[in-house]
Amino acid sequence: MKANIIRRIALLATVFLATFVAFFFFVYRPWQLSWGATADEVARSMVGDGLVKNPTFNATRAVTVNASAERIWPWIVQMGYKRAGFYSWDILDNDGIRSAERILPEYQNLKVGDLLPLSENTDARVVDMEPNRRLLLVFQSDGTVTWAWGLYKIDEKRTRLVTRLRWRTTSIVSQFTLDAFEIIMMRKCLLGIKRRAEPPMEQT
């Protein structure tokens, strides 16, 4: 009797584990790698794609912002650790300092070659930038990482804000952390920019 119970528990545990793994790799991971993005946006090339060959993490996320690129851009260029923050979970990525709720003039002069702090110990270099259109940040973390931003006009009052993170890591822990949790920060960041950039009456 006891052996039967143990076998049943082992069988249930195996089924649960197999179900979890299948859900993670075939449902959750594809969803988080392309949250908000269309198939065309995922397939479209973005600045910096060629800098990371065969990435183990290649995530394209997007959101429609009811504002022009000119209204969105200032919120992007002032991002950074202990700058304007990342409009995400500040306790996790900005030492608990609240992300800015206004445009900060002192951080609006970002240019190619500048270093943008991502954390206390990590800086990203601005490798490519065209105001109101695109921004490419490159940094090192167990290999080269590219973080691209693109602004694509829909009409005079709407813009697609697209971001792509490409990373090749050999660390299982880093890979799992990216696959499981990175979307939590990135989703809130995109929605945070959307909320701040949209005129109050057009927020959704």
What CATH number does the domain containing 169 carry? 3.30.530.20
Average pLDDT, integer, range 156-176: 94
pLDDT above 90 as % of the chain: 75
Question: Looking at the predicted structure, is the pLDDT value of residue 203 above 70?
Answer: no
Per-residue confidence band for 131, with pLDDT thresholds at 50, 70 and 90? very high
- Predicted pLDDT at 7: 73
Helices (H) and strands (E) in the chain, counts: 6, 6
Shared domain check, 129 and 51 = yes
Report how far residue 197's alpha carbon sits from residue 180's, in angstroms, rounded to the nearest whole number.
Answer: 28
Expressed in angstroms, the distance from the first to the final Cα of the chain is 59
Shared domain check, 184 and 98 = yes
Q: How far is Cα of residue 180 from the mean position of the Cα atoms in its chain?
A: 13
At residue 111, the 3 state secondary structure works out as: coil
Question: 189: burial class by Cβ within 10 Å (0-12, 13-18, 19+)?
Answer: buried
- 25 or 95: whose pLDDT is higher? 95
Which of 88, 71, 82, 87 minimizes the C-alpha distance to 123?
Answer: 82
Shared domain check, 6 and 52 = no
Average pLDDT, integer, range 159-188: 94
Per-residue confidence band for 1, with pLDDT thresholds at 50, 70 and 90? low
At residue 143, the 3 state secondary structure works out as: coil
Shared domain check, 95 and 18 = no
Determine the structural domain holding residue 19 and report its residue range.
Answer: 1-33
Shared domain check, 103 and 85 = yes
- 118, two tokens: 């991502």
Lowest mean pLDDT among 12-21, 88-97, 116-125, 127-136: 12-21
- Predicted pLDDT at 72: 98
Considering the entire predicted model, what is its pTM? 0.89
- 98 or 10: whose pLDDT is higher? 98
Shared domain check, 44 and 10 = no
Shared domain check, 62 and 24 = no
Contact 33, 58 (CB under 8 A): yes
- Average pLDDT of the residues of the chain: 92
Shared domain check, 81 and 152 = yes
Question: Looking at the predicted structure, is the pLDDT value of residue 3 above 90?
Answer: no
Shared domain check, 136 and 48 = yes
Q: Which residues contact 174 (CB under 8 A, 6 or more apart)?
A: 141, 142
Shared domain check, 99 and 25 = no
Question: Looking at the predicted structure, is the pLDDT value of residue 17 above 60?
Answer: yes
Shared domain check, 141 and 74 = yes
Domain count, the chain: 2
Shared domain check, 83 and 1 = no
- Highest-scoring range by mean pLDDT, 22-31, 35-44, 135-144, 169-178: 35-44
- Predicted pLDDT at 74: 98
Report how far residue 151's alpha carbon sits from residue 171's, in angstroms, rounded to the nearest whole number.
Answer: 32
